[in-house]
Amino acid sequence: MFIRLKIHYLYRKNKLPDHWKYRVFGFNILSTIELPELLETEFEKQDVYIDLDKTPFSLEKSISNGVLFQANENEFLFRLDSVGAYYVQNGNRITVERLNDSTDEELRLFLLGSSFGALIHQNNLIPFHGSTVTRNGIAIIIGGASGSGKSTLAASLVKKGFDLLADDISVIDLLNKNPIVYPGIPHLKLWSDVLKEIGEDVHNHPRVRPQLLKYRVSLNKGYSRKPSPIGVIIIISSKNTRGFEIQEVKGLSKLKLLRDNIYRQHYIAGNHNQEQHFYHTSELASKVEVFHLQRPMHPLQIAEMTDFLLNEVKSISNDK
């Protein structure tokens, strides 16, 4: 009985927390949901509050609508009946509702992905669909469509001594018109064949979802916690011919390529948000170099692609 009373007392004194504090994408996060993918931190003032509660079934006023979401300038609602519903408000609050006995892992997957994408848009930041590594304090963003090899190339560069800054979503802030990337989630999501190619045992890493052969590789080392200025952006795509090709992209093609790789850009709703988004993307295009890297669709040539990139883009490979 004494042991039970002691445990209860410790819980009431918040020794066993019912709130967790994290920092990710430039936000101080206070959450009633434990998010083991993120790093805990301490702060006095929160930017975003995350809670587990009921969400509205629909928005009263929606401007943008999709199969799974509704949005207006200040609200976003995403509903996946097999997992959960996510209500994002005013760039500072996310309410999560569990549906159909989904697992904690599934619930967190869409919270840290689509929901955070909407949150970032509401704060007029740029959520770029890409992974970011750093060397000598300079960020290299690796973008592209799903399955293009963003995380694969990032993992290979980390093996060569680069530090990971963000995976899948790279949040860009035009701070004083000088674009920087905020630290993201300290892990890489990699398919089983990629893990084998880079010498990792799949049994050492949890699956992203039970039905997928994709794994979450957490990084205790080789992860940077410092916002970093952008040196270059690499956009990857695949082709049906052999060999690698790379070229610098300029002019309107550069702006279009950047816009095409904004994470969840269809979530943007309202004229003001759309204007701000276009302005920020144009400003980004004027500030950074952008290269288009084409790789063969098959076979998987991770080491060869990495070496090719380092040889062709000297600003990435040069040590200072």
Phi, psi of 200 (to 5 degrees): -105, 140
Domain with CATH 3.40.50.300 in the chain: 126-317
Per-residue pLDDT of the chain (320 residues; tens, 9 = 90+): 334 333 343 433 444 468 999 999 999 999 999 999 999 999 999 999 999 999 999 999 889 899 999 999 899 999 999 999 999 999 999 999 999 989 998 999 999 999 999 999 999 999 999 999 999 999 999 999 888 889 999 999 998 999 999 999 999 999 877 899 999 998 888 999 888 888 888 888 988 877 788 888 887 678 899 999 999 999 999 999 999 999 999 999 999 999 999 999 889 887 678 888 889 999 999 999 999 999 998 887 889 999 999 999 877 766 54
pLDDT at 48: 98
| Fold annotation for 126-317 | Rossmann fold (3.40.50)
pTM of the complete model beyond 0.75: yes
Distance between CA 287 and CA 232 in Å, rounded?
A: 10
- Which is it for the CA torsion 143, 147, 151, 156, positive or negative? negative
pLDDT at 175: 80
